[in-house]
Structure 1
Amino acid sequence: MPSQISQKHPTGLYVLFFAEMWERFSYYGMRAILLLFLIDTVKGGMSMNASESAAIYGIYTASVYLLTLPGGWLADNILGQKKAIWYGGIVIMIGHIILAVPAGSAIFFLGLTTVAVGTGLLKPNISSIVGELYPEGGARRDAAFSIFYMGINLGSFLGIAIVGYLGERISWHLGFGAAAIGMLLGLVVFRIGSERHLKGMGEVPPARISTPESDAQSGTNKKLGYGLVILLIGLLTVLQLSGTIDMTTAQGLAKGAGVIIVIISASYFLFILFAGGLTRVEQKRVLVLIILFLAIALFWAGYEQAGTSLQIFAERHTQRMVGGWEVPSSWFQNFQPTFVLIFAPVLASLWIFLSSKSLNPSIPVKFAAGLILLGLSFFVMVAASNIAVQGNLTSPFFLIFTYFLHTIGELCVSPVGLSSYTKLAPKRYVSQLMGIWFVGASLGNLIAGIFAGGFDEENVMQMPALFNQVAIITTAFGLLLLIFWKPIKGWMGGIS
């Protein structure tokens, strides 16, 4: 079997598979214990309240995705993809090493920032090289990304299991150090493997052809960019001075970042629609992309509760004793990658089967299904929290079933959305709109942190209402997509 697989796919794919696996080991492993470390008051944690900790968590995870925009730009214009991956991995490893040093809050936040910067440099570029291995596109390329996606989830599983255990049971900083070792292994794999199996790929930035038209457009874009920066600074100043938000706190800073992301995204979409030189068909397709952007931000806002509100619920309100041993609360996050590894091939086969029968659901229907499943998962958590508010520990099966619904929803939304953006985006804006896709993920992560900040340790009675709020909003948006899927599909101009 291994020999047959290697004949179908170039060895370079497996170099990237293992490099990404170890990078995700470090990212998800550290992320699994981040909130626990921030709220810990016993074992040398930061002793922060849940609200402030969740806001910091949200800012960090949002920054990782937001920094993929400058990370992609640096690769395209200065470094080339290969150097961006290499330097990004080194920066990530240094960040985890800094986190492994118990030297106070300033050093900790320096390490957190360093990891975010490195991840923003590495993340968008390693996926791009996977695509370069298959210039012909087609089914082999789709299969390659499925294999690559399995590597991401395998790394996530191992990272949460190992780093989570070390951090919770032995030392937080030992856990952060283990994440650094994972990134080191990824660097070794990439360095040795890329020299032999990825020659000529991502070595230098793509050549830029300068014309009077492109130079004029570049000048216009710079002026618009400067204007947007001035607008953002002015708006944030007004919000701060009026007391609407207080950016001297973590919660206020998270809200300010949310304002920035929303305005940048809205401004970009409006620019593309009205000044992008699009045809009528392209404008309708961009409208579909806007709808999918809103849907993916909302989806990730719920899905990423795994590391925030659901992590708090696992830690404080879930029965975790197996025999005489207490399961680390961070391990519950591992149900997501486990279910992905089990069910990704099942859903991929289902879409192929339905397509052969001309029954494959359209993109808006798949998105609707993902959001409705996410909403149902939070109705499960409403039931669980109603038990918790009575002072009882809940069965772990509530969280397990919640993560199962999350995963099936993710498999309906994430790979479908990624593919949709590449197909629906006007050709001259594909790279930029792929960056906006990651901005949607960034916004979702930020909302997840802000939402979890509403958890008051002194008032567990508010848990059912908070979970019910997420359940209703996500289910309602999913139902709206389901109701209007036909006109949305019509705007796609024949693309399916």
Structure 2
Amino acid sequence: MSEVVNSEGAKKKFSHPKGLYVLFTAEMWERFSYYGMRAILILFMTTDMAAEGLGLTTETAGAVYGLYTASVYLMTLPGGWLADNIFGQRKAVFYGGVLIMIGHLVLAIPGSPAIFFTGLAFVALGTGLLKGNISTLVGELYENEDGAKRDAGFSIFYMGINLGSFFGQLFVPLLAEYNWHLGFGLAAIGMFFGLIAYKVYAPKYLKEIGVEPKAKSIEKTGKSNNSVTLGIIAFILVLLVTLQLLGHIDVTTATGIAQALGLIIVVITMGYFINILFNGGLNLIEKKKVTVIFILFVGIAIFWSGFEQAASSLNLFARDFTNRFIGGWEMPAGMLQSFNSGFIIIFAPIIGALWVKLAARNINVRTPFKFAVGLVLLGLGFWVMVEAAQVAASGAKAGMFALILTYFLHSIGELTISPVGLSATSKLSPKKYLGQMMGIWFVGAALGNLIAGLIGGNFDPENVLEMPNIFLNVVWVSVGAGIIFFAASPFIKKWMGEVT
């Protein structure tokens, strides 16, 4: 009898909740749509109007790319607030998916830049509702689990993200070779499949998780209706303002707007953390953990500022300076980005299992050390690109292996930072601010994406001699940040307490 109990206990210890796979599927299709469209975005914007592109300069397209991708993640903060106070995470995820699908359908309509920016606005707003809240739901599935199993669960979830990304970056660029708008339309179909899967299976396997808003002010009292009304009005206002900004943006001033937005993000985020620390009703332990979330915010912003150049400077390098011929067929430039997702699919379960095995041997690699490793790997990837850029500067085309090796190093770095950071944020966050703290995590991604777009805008195909220096600057920043995380690990671990 004891053998049966031990067997069942072991099975339970190493199994994952079925709800994880519901969220895995929904996020997989959402990432299919997002990353598939992202793979062709800057290429579409810099293609001549005669070839049915927008005909923007590289600098302008890079700034617009940065503004859009920053907006996608920046909207997770109000998205977290709406979930915490009004919708609950479950409804927020579904509503976000609907907005994303509408956005991609709008992008599939040929027309003026105003139509194009309107589609981007819908995608940004929808992702703001979906992205942070679906990660929050994953965290709640592991509320009573140990850190290693929780990290393994997030790694599996992250594999689903990259499975969708992999196929999106294969098929959307391939279809876009025939018609840009067919590529955008395929992204909408992907989101539609994600919505269907979520609507059918979430009630069965998530049960009551994420149904009720977390904030106490939304408990069933007479005040709820007023809060709901105010929240809906705020959401509509954000929608209208965003549409106006993106639909009527003067693209000649895009760089200045992007730089201003970066400064605004930094100032608002600092103010938000200061307010939470001093006016958020937190005890000393909670304040220390929130401070750690801020430190991780800085680390993830630096990481994404380099990593997200995959769709800006590295994408342009693939198009203009890389030999992409396989036999007599030339691979579309955007398809090269699928190597990143492919590496994640291969190595996510391996890295996830590694954390569990190390923990079983009482070797628990803490979050700040993992961040340090990821940042150093990011720098090594760009060192490879320095060498490739020197080849391009000599007048030859670089081989695809340079980009593939870069994506490999970046992918392993991503696995040591992104799922682990998501997991740590969900564990460190005070309960009443959980959705907002997950939103802050994605604000770090917003800042990184914005910087990546600005760096990509400096990637001038007419000034090939500057390319090695552009990539070398990223090497110094990322490796330097990694060294700082190594040095600060003991301090950060102390403030994290029992959280790994």
Q: Identify whether the pair has TM-score above 0.5, normalized to the shorter chain.
A: yes
TM-score (norm 2): 0.85
1:47-76 superposed Cα distances (whole Å, 9 cap, x missing partner): 111111011111111111111112222223
Q: Give the match for residue 311 of structure 2.
A: 307
Q: Give the match for residue 146 of structure 1.
A: 155
Greater CA deviation, 120-129 or 278-287?
Answer: 278-287
Q: Is the 8 A contact 2:30 2:191 kept in 1?
A: yes
Aligned with 2:22 (options 6, 15, 21): 15
Q: Give the match for residue 71 of structure 2.
A: 63
Q: Give the match for residue 38 of structure 1.
A: 45
1:158-193 superposed Cα distances (whole Å, 9 cap, x missing partner): 1110111101x2110000011111111112222233
Q: Give the match for residue 452 of structure 1.
A: 456
Query: Aligned partners of 1:153 and 1:134: how far apart in 2?
Result: 21
Aligned with 2:401 (options 397, 411, 421): 397
Computed over aligned residues only, the root mean square deviation of the Cα atoms, in angstroms, reads 2.7
- Residues 11/365 of structure 1: CA separation in 2 closer, same or farther (3 Å cut): closer
1:209-230 superposed Cα distances (whole Å, 9 cap, x missing partner): 589xxx9xxxxxxxxxxxxxxx
Aligned with 2:383 (options 369, 373, 379): 379
- Residues 133/346 of structure 1: CA separation in 2 closer, same or farther (3 Å cut): closer
- Residues 314/433 of structure 1: CA separation in 2 closer, same or farther (3 Å cut): same
- Matched residue SS, 1:336: helix
Aligned with 1:24 (options 31, 36, 41): 31
Q: Is the 8 A contact 1:93 1:183 kept in 2?
A: yes
The one-letter code of the counterpart of 1:32 is A
TM-score (norm 1): 0.86
Q: Give the match for residue 360 of structure 1.
A: 364
Query: Aligned partners of 1:457 and 1:372: how far apart in 2?
Result: 28
Query: Aligned partners of 2:356 and 2:209: how far apart in 1?
Result: 31
1:488 pairs with 2:495: no
Q: Is the 8 A contact 2:154 2:422 kept in 1?
A: no
Aligned with 1:435 (options 434, 439, 447): 439
The one-letter code of the counterpart of 2:480 is A
Greater CA deviation, 358-367 or 172-181?
Answer: 358-367
Deviation at 1:129, TM superposition (A): 3.2
Query: Aligned partners of 1:195 and 1:495: how far apart in 2?
Result: 30
Query: Aligned partners of 1:420 and 1:13: how far apart in 2?
Result: 17
- Matched residue SS, 1:97: helix
Aligned with 1:476 (options 453, 475, 480): 480
Q: Give the match for residue 327 of structure 1.
A: 331
- Residues 280/259 of structure 1: CA separation in 2 closer, same or farther (3 Å cut): same
Q: Is the 8 A contact 1:247 1:256 kept in 2?
A: no
Query: Aligned partners of 1:361 and 1:291: how far apart in 2?
Result: 18
Q: Give the match for residue 233 of structure 1.
A: none
Deviation at 1:25, TM superposition (A): 0.7
The one-letter code of the counterpart of 1:114 is F
1:60-115 superposed Cα distances (whole Å, 9 cap, x missing partner): 11111111112222223223333322222222111111111111111111111111
1:350-395 superposed Cα distances (whole Å, 9 cap, x missing partner): 2233333444333222111111111111111111101101111001
Query: Aligned partners of 2:218 and 2:95: how far apart in 1?
Result: 28
Any stretches of 5+ residues in structure 2 without a counterpart?
Answer: 1-10, 224-249
Query: Aligned partners of 2:203 and 2:396: how far apart in 1?
Result: 57
Q: Map 1:169-208; keep pairs closer than 5 Å.
A: 169-194=177-202, 196-206=204-214, 208=216
Q: Give the match for residue 236 of structure 1.
A: none
Count residues with an aligned counterpart: 460
Query: Aligned partners of 1:350 and 1:182: how far apart in 2?
Result: 32
Query: Aligned partners of 1:299 and 1:413: how far apart in 2?
Result: 8
Q: Is the 8 A contact 2:58 2:457 kept in 1?
A: yes
Query: Aligned partners of 2:282 and 2:214: how far apart in 1?
Result: 25
Query: Aligned partners of 1:247 and 1:153: how far apart in 2?
Result: 32
Q: Map 1:65-104; keep pairs closer than 5 Å.
A: 65-104=73-112
Query: Aligned partners of 1:349 and 1:302: how far apart in 2?
Result: 27
Q: Is the 8 A contact 2:136 2:434 kept in 1?
A: no
Q: Give the match for residue 251 of structure 1.
A: 255
